Structure 1
Amino acid sequence: MTEPGPRILFFNPVRHARQVYEALQEVASTEVVTSPSSEQFFVDIQKKYSNIQAIYRTSASGAVAGNFDKEFIDHLPPSLKFICHNGAGYDQIDVNACASRGITVTYAPDPKLRNGQFKKGVDFGHDPQGKILGILGMGRIGRAVKARAEPFGLKCVYHNRNPLPEDLAAGCAYVSFDQLLADSDIISVHVPLFAATRHLIGAAEIAKMKPGVVIVNTARGAIIDESAMARALDEGHIAAVGLDVYEWEPMIDERLVKNDRALLVPHLGTHTAETLAKMEGHAMENARRAVMGEELLSIIPEHLPVKKHI
């Protein structure tokens, strides 16, 4: 009789990357959580899931488990060594609590017409040529934005905690945070959400921006003080915003909803079948490598080993 493979617990069923899931089943024992609530899961984890080695989760896992906070992490069995998150943002997971338990976390880094009027009361826009696009967070997504923006004639600058090597900067000039705020005609946000970046952009930072600045946020809502942004938009200091994320999702500041210069999308940045399949496959490959003892694809930065300098 074949011994069952290492157990991987799925908090969400796989909908798109079915071939990857079927291949994973050849080397691991996979099952989807049936616990209807976090309270029942805490009961089930004592026996039913007591020997799981990895967890696969998505941003929608909170419907069953809530956030993977310290209380949740403390209930996980000693056998659990990996949490493989299907998504680029992992602010729902207490990564410090995971680290203290020896758990490694991975991630998957890939309306004027509202009221039936057509071209009525629409103000003039601006040509992109020669404008400065400030990319806040020059990671994989930031570089992809730069590549898409430059054909429109935009000049791109970026700010990270530290300047990047030339190959990763992709020819983009590094500027200080204050300089990015002061010089940019458009600011596009691509930093992760953690304690140091919560309200990274607030009223004081908005005041440093050019009158008429455009802000695009597709990262995490709480990186920007939403109330301060809505007020500056109403006052005209901010010309327009493009938002896929919000500070208190699913609630959105009513001033943004009512403002025609706010382009609002309900957190759909990855909602294509192709992208979701890639993300599911990436997270499952992390889970497969984890239980097979292979090198992981994408450990979150907080859990990467610290390099020692000689």
Structure 2
Amino acid sequence: MTQNTPLIALTRAVFDDQITTLSRQYPLRSNQGDEPLAPAALHAQVAGATALIPTVADRIDAAVLDAAPGLKVVSNVGVGTNNIDIAACTARGIVVTNTPGVLTETTADMAWALLMAAARHVPQSERWLREGAWDRWALQQWLGKDVHGATLGIVGMGTIGSAVARRARGFGMKIVYTNRSRAANEAEIGASFMPLDELLAASDFIVLVVPYSPATHHLIGAAQLAKMKRDAVLINIARGGVVDDAALVEALAAQRIGGAALDVFENEPKFDRRFLDLPNVVLTPHIGSASLATRRAMAQLAIDNCTAALRGERAPNMVNPDVLK
């Protein structure tokens, strides 16, 4: 490597063998831990870097970009890019990439894990058992909600939404969806289009799979929750901010809906602590893509996107093609 070889900065640890391989090609400045970097530390991490590999939990704003005037690539480990100021990157000629596709099936699996856990009170009943409360079998003990034959509403029929729908067919569910436009595969997956308000009123289970943007901020708030069935379950595997968490806490506490299962939260890893006191919500710490194979594939795709751009090639998963103009 010459003195002018591009420097790649990483905000979080990736897998050791991937670091070893990448370090043979480029000098690296890698955060060896999983602790998020404070702003000053993040600015120091990117200073002098030509490329940056952050995670969806790292805020890459204009101040970060100002700390790295030589930056050419921001290669996000994740599909969502709401953590990155894309307009600021484009204005500076910085290519932004993400990691779609590799986490589709794993995230759809997680939607079903949450749906089933909420429908059948799996975590609540397990805690009850572990606490020693189970002293008899009773006919009306831990009565859940049937999944088979129920109506599933999917908000956002992209690749992950379609994968969720394919799984629903095995349960004999009626599948309805809403999206910005009609899905080309709706006949193939057996789904019917509905406006959001109609979907909310008709569905027994509602899975949110939309990207976060100003247009989807608090897409589900108090007014939308009021349109749901009283025994319906809301599942959010999208992004924090798509749901108004404060409104959801109030709806769950008042039992205006049957329950919720959440893998994402507003302001995560901080979240509304009132969720912890509610018996009708399942909570997981943003682990939708967290299988070993998938997280490795995400990290590798981010590396491949980054190195392709550094070689002067069109990055495979560019999210701001206007930068090429």
Q: TM-score, normalised by structure 2?
A: 0.79
Number of equivalences: 292
For residues 164 and 45 of structure 2, the distance between their equivalents in structure 1, rounded to whole angstroms, comes to: 44
- Pairing of 1:145-224 with structure 2 (within 5 A): 145-166=164-185, 170-224=189-243
Query: Which secondary structure state, in structure 2, belongs to the residue aligned with residue 83 of structure 1?
Result: strand
For residues 172 and 322 of structure 2, the distance between their equivalents in structure 1, rounded to whole angstroms, comes to: 40
* 1:266 match: 285
**Deviation (angstroms), 1:233:** 1.4
- The structure 2 residue matched to 1:296, chosen from 299, 307, 315, is 315
Query: Which secondary structure state, in structure 2, belongs to the residue aligned with residue 105 of structure 1?
Result: strand
Q: What do you get for the CA RMSD once the two structures are aligned?
A: 2.8
* 1:71 match: 63
* 2:71 match: 80
For residues 45 and 164 of structure 2, the distance between their equivalents in structure 1, rounded to whole angstroms, comes to: 44
- 1:54 and 1:290 in contact (8 A); partners too: no
Query: Which secondary structure state, in structure 1, belongs to the residue aligned with residue 318 of structure 2?
Result: coil
For residues 73 and 267 of structure 1, the distance between their equivalents in structure 2, rounded to whole angstroms, comes to: 26
Query: Are the structure 2 counterparts of residues 184 and 59 from structure 1 closer, same or farther at C-alpha, using a change threshold of 3 Å?
Result: same
1:92 aligns with 2:89: no
* 1:39 match: 40
CA displacement 1:228-247 (0-9 Å, x = unmatched): 11211122221011111112
Q: Pick which of 140-149 and 249-258 moved more.
A: 249-258
**Deviation (angstroms), 1:187:** 0.6
* Amino acid of the structure 2 residue aligned with 1:32: S
Query: Which secondary structure state, in structure 2, belongs to the residue aligned with residue 196 of structure 1?
Result: coil
For residues 2 and 88 of structure 2, the distance between their equivalents in structure 1, rounded to whole angstroms, comes to: 36
For residues 168 and 80 of structure 1, the distance between their equivalents in structure 2, rounded to whole angstroms, comes to: 45
- 1:4 and 1:29 in contact (8 A); partners too: no
* Amino acid of the structure 2 residue aligned with 1:183: A
For residues 160 and 70 of structure 1, the distance between their equivalents in structure 2, rounded to whole angstroms, comes to: 31
- The structure 2 residue matched to 1:114, chosen from 123, 127, 130, is 127
CA displacement 1:79-119 (0-9 Å, x = unmatched): 32210011123222222222222222211221333351347
* 2:28 match: 30
Query: Are the structure 2 counterparts of residues 280 and 210 from structure 1 closer, same or farther at C-alpha, using a change threshold of 3 Å?
Result: same
- 1:54 and 1:82 in contact (8 A); partners too: yes
* Amino acid of the structure 2 residue aligned with 1:95: I
CA displacement 1:140-180 (0-9 Å, x = unmatched): 21122112222111122221212232389744322222222
Query: Which secondary structure state, in structure 2, belongs to the residue aligned with residue 68 of structure 1?
Result: coil
Percent of aligned positions that are identical: 35
For residues 157 and 210 of structure 2, the distance between their equivalents in structure 1, rounded to whole angstroms, comes to: 8
* Amino acid of the structure 2 residue aligned with 1:279: M
- Pairing of 1:237-248 with structure 2 (within 5 A): 237-248=256-267
For residues 316 and 141 of structure 2, the distance between their equivalents in structure 1, rounded to whole angstroms, comes to: 47
Q: Structure 1 stretches of 5 or more lacking a match?
A: none
- Pairing of 1:248-287 with structure 2 (within 5 A): 248-287=267-306
For residues 210 and 40 of structure 1, the distance between their equivalents in structure 2, rounded to whole angstroms, comes to: 47
- 1:138 and 1:169 in contact (8 A); partners too: no
For residues 150 and 45 of structure 2, the distance between their equivalents in structure 1, rounded to whole angstroms, comes to: 56
For residues 269 and 44 of structure 1, the distance between their equivalents in structure 2, rounded to whole angstroms, comes to: 28
For residues 224 and 291 of structure 2, the distance between their equivalents in structure 1, rounded to whole angstroms, comes to: 34
For residues 197 and 189 of structure 2, the distance between their equivalents in structure 1, rounded to whole angstroms, comes to: 21
Query: Are the structure 2 counterparts of residues 26 and 164 from structure 1 closer, same or farther at C-alpha, using a change threshold of 3 Å?
Result: farther
* Amino acid of the structure 1 residue aligned with 2:86: V
Q: TM-score, normalised by structure 1?
A: 0.83
* Amino acid of the structure 2 residue aligned with 1:70: A
